Amino acid sequence: MDGGAHPTLFGWGSASTAGRGSGFCVIGVPADHGNGVSRGAARGPASVRRAARLLPVPRGAGVDAGDVPGCRAADPETVLSRLAEATCEAVDGGFRPLIIGGDHSITFAPVSVLQQRRDIGVVWFDAHTDFSPWVEGQGHSHKQVLRRIETLPGVKRVLQIGYRGLTAGDERHLGDKATVVTSEAARYLTTAELLELMPHDLDWYVSIDIDAIDPFHAPGTSAPVPDGMEPSTVREFLAAIVGARRVVGADVVEVNPRLDVDDITSAIAARLLWTIADGL
């Protein structure tokens, strides 16, 4: 892993994912080749780590393993392979992966690793379905990543939260395993009702596309959609999930500092990661 010159997330110690431990292992993925709309999410890991310096140390333990090396020059499949390897090392070392993207296509790697070890559910905060048609042999992208994830045999449930229905026609598809809570419905959803949608006998992976949040609050993303979720609602949901379900990994993706205003989107992303880590 490439530690680089960036600060560690939350001031956690730097460590190789090969070492034994507990808590979370942060893995940065500075890659955005899977986003065909706008480049810039590759800068996300560094920007989110910098923003996290303003936050207190969370109650949960963790280490920061740096960034997956060579992402900027690698093709999407190579990035996924390297991230899968880093995820395996983290899990084998007793850690739960806490990943900073990067575009949303990267989520396929950690989910594919974790579902081989146990049956899992996936919580998917996103303005879009990410369920575009995919033909084997086509390039991997953020538009069809959830369609590929749903085909994995160990993924038993998908809970999509924040969908707005304002996407291109080929993105309106919904998966057979999916339960969808639109952004509008999420405003009235209690945490108890949320947890009822998440069977307690499954372990859960949480993936947060920052565009789930309304662009008024989080403008730094390549595919903003109006009428999104409030940051406080997402934090409330995350706290409930971490407190009542076994979360085996999580990520925040699609933060694009190139499109941000005063790093506010990076700050929101850092706060979401902090909420997960603080509740472990």
How many folded domains does the chain comprise? 1
C-alpha count within 13 angstroms, C-beta hemisphere, residue 124: 34
Question: What local confidence, expressed as pLDDT, does residue 188 receive?
Answer: 97
In a domain, 4, yes or no: no
The owner of tokens 């956690």 is 12
Q: What is the pLDDT of residue 18?
A: 45
The answer to whether position 2 is within a domain reads no
The Cα–Cα gap between 48 and 268 comes to 9
Closest C-alpha to 45, from 96, 4, 94: 4
Residue 220 lies in a domain: yes
Per DSSP, the residues of 86-142 read: HHHHHHHTT-EEEEEES-GGGGHHHHHHHHTTS-EEEEEE-SS-------TTSPP-T
Count the neighbouring beta carbons within 10 Å of the beta carbon of residue 2. 13
Find the Cα–Cα–Cα–Cα dihedral 106, 210, 206, 122, rounded to 10°.
-70
CA–CA separation, 266 vs 273, rounded Å? 11
Q: Decide if 46 contacts 9 (C-beta within 8 A).
A: no
| Residue 65: half-sphere exposure toward Cβ, Cα within 13 Å | 31
Report how far residue 30's alpha carbon sits from residue 148's, in angstroms, rounded to the nearest whole number: 21
Flag whether 1 is in a domain. no
* DSSP line for 66-81: EE-TTTTTS-HHHHHH
Torsion of CA 199, 204, 208, 209, to 10 degrees: -90
Report the first-to-last Cα separation within the chain, whole angstroms.
25
Mean pLDDT by 10 residues, the chain (280 residues): 74 71 93 76 97 95 94 86 96 96 94 98 92 65 81 96 72 74 96 98 98 98 94 98 98 97 98 95
Beta bridge partners of 17: none
Residue 184 lies in a domain: yes
Question: Which CATH number is 222's domain given?
Answer: 3.40.800.10
Please check whether residue 230 lies inside any domain of the structure: yes
152 is a domain residue: yes
Domain hosting residue 250, numbered range: 9-279
Domain-located, residue 3: no
